[in-house]
Amino acid sequence: MNKPELLIPAGSLENLYIAVAYGADAVYIGGEAFGLRAKAKNFDQQKMIQGITYAHGHGVKVYVTANIIAHNEDIDQARAYFKELLEIQPDGVIIADPGMLMVAKEVMPDMEFHLSTQANNTNYATMQFWHQQGVKRVVVARELSLEEITTAKQKVPDTLDFEAFVHGAMCISYSGRCLLSNYMSGRDANKGACTHPCRWTYHLVEETRPGEYMPVYENERGTYIYNSKDLCLISHIDQLVASGIDSFKIEGRMKTALYVATVTKTWREAIDDYFSDPDVYASKLAYYEAEVRKCTHRQFTTGFYFGKPDGDEQIYTSNTYTRSYTFVGKGIDYDPIKKLAHIQQRNKFVVGDTLEVLKTNGKNIEFIVDTMYNIEGEIVREAPHPKQDIWIEVDFEILPNEIIRRPADQDSA
């Protein structure tokens, strides 16, 4: 069995650095156009070059998304964009639209192409067709069961790789092909501008009684009728590997640095444990699940992998995330002589707080903030300013890009 690639979302250059630090095998990023996360920070040409150079220097691959469903006006711009990518040389380009693939192949004939889940890859014949068009990898549709994925993998050529989402937010629409956002707000989900109307609350209006809003209930639990739980398969790595999936894909180019660090570290550890000793992996399932809950998340589901979801896979009472930890800073460097860690603040923390360093290698370290200094070298009792430079006295090394978090129950302190 081949060890699957761990593929991590990077919606910003900072998140790319963090994904690399915590053990990603590959990251996927978006440019300023043609990807499906227009509200992510994304990468201009210079940042893309910087990110790819950094990742390649650490043995990590970079795939660029260009998976919009294109309209006429997009084609000439896409051709110009692909010429830029030809110079930048990522490891692969993710595409959904046949016309976009045709143009990309003309401009970048030697590029590796991955077929986005937006292309609705639900059967082996479709996958074989796309492979014949030059696609090296398909991202299987989220609505496939593990049995369907296994069967398809057995029927396609060995030269076609399978990538599958194993963690993160779920669309309620067919492999992301959703018209709700465009219809309700004029912002096209299939061109990267989704407003997430699946997370809104709804009422019913009868046309002869305008202005009379009747709540929509399902067993009186709530009104968020499209709001899916988040996918999490970290306890099923053995079955995922046995199915032949080549790349484990984490969703989340809109997510925080804490999410990227937490999920990358935990999935890296779980995959490595499984391939080192399956019994060790099996003994740590509760630990892995507890760890991935230490960043913002919804309740978890296994999606379609083990059967079609029912009403229990929706969250009817709220569209908010659960948050048990707050991202308070990241490591910049460490002075072993003075025992001072240089931290860039992200949320306020104060002397006396109990913080935890999410270590890139080894066990996380918890500590109490005792003494800290500002950029002028003055002793301070709090770090209240966004991205403030702070030095903390600690007797262990905090490495660059290591994330520092605080239990959310201390936030009001």
Report pLDDT digits (tens) over 150-204.
999 999 999 999 999 999 876 666 566 666 666 567 776 665 666 766 666 666 7
pLDDT in tens, 378-389: 999 999 999 999
- The pair of structure tokens assigned to 40 is 């992510």
pLDDT at 206 over 90: no
The fold adopted by the segment(s) 325-410 is Elongation Factor Tu (Ef-tu); domain 3 (2.40.30)
Rg (CA), the chain: 23
With a pLDDT cut of 90, the percent of the chain lying above it is: 66
**Mean of the pLDDT values across residues 66-85?**
91
Of 258 and 408, the structure prediction assigns the larger pLDDT to 258
Paired strand residues for 230: 300
- Strand-pair category, 26-30 with 214-215: unpaired
- How far apart, in whole angstroms, are the C-alpha atoms of residue 15 and residue 318? 28
CB 21: neighbour CB atoms within 10 A? 23
With tokens 């018209």, the residue in question is: 179
CB 249 within 8 A of CB 3: no
- The residue type at 289: E
* Alpha-carbon torsion angle 92, 95, 98, 104, nearest 10: -40
Sequence spans of domains, the chain: 5-175+227-313, 325-410
How much is the pLDDT for 339? 96
Return the closest-CA partner of residue 36 out of 103, 84, 100, 90.
100
CB 389 within 8 A of CB 375: yes
pLDDT at 310 over 80: no
Phi, psi of 410 (to 5 degrees): -95, -5
Paired strand residues for 405: 327, 356
- The pair of structure tokens assigned to 148 is 């369907």
The fold adopted by the segment(s) 5-175+227-313 is TIM Barrel (3.20.20)
pLDDT in tens, 354-373: 999 999 999 999 999 999 99
- How far apart, in whole angstroms, are the C-alpha atoms of residue 221 and residue 208? 27
- The pair of structure tokens assigned to 154 is 């057995």
DSSP 41-101: --B-HHHHHHHHHHHHHTT-EEEEEE-----HHHHHHHHHHHHHHHHH--SEEEE--HHHH
**Mean of the pLDDT values across residues 290-298?**
82
- How far apart, in whole angstroms, are the C-alpha atoms of residue 86 and residue 61? 16
pTM of this prediction?
0.84
365-399 burial: b if 16+ Cβ within 10 Å, else e: bebebeebbeeeeeebebbeeeebebbbebeebbb
With a pLDDT cut of 70, the percent of the chain lying above it is: 82
Highest mean pLDDT among 16-25, 196-205, 307-316 belongs to 16-25
pLDDT in tens, 323-344: 689 999 999 999 999 999 999 9
How much is the pLDDT for 316? 47
Q: Percent helix, strand and coil across the chain, each rounded to 5?
A: 30, 25, 45
pLDDT band at 321 (very low <50, low <70, confident <90, very high): low
The average confidence (pLDDT) of the chain is 87
Return the closest-CA partner of residue 37 out of 254, 242, 224.
254
pLDDT band at 411 (very low <50, low <70, confident <90, very high): low
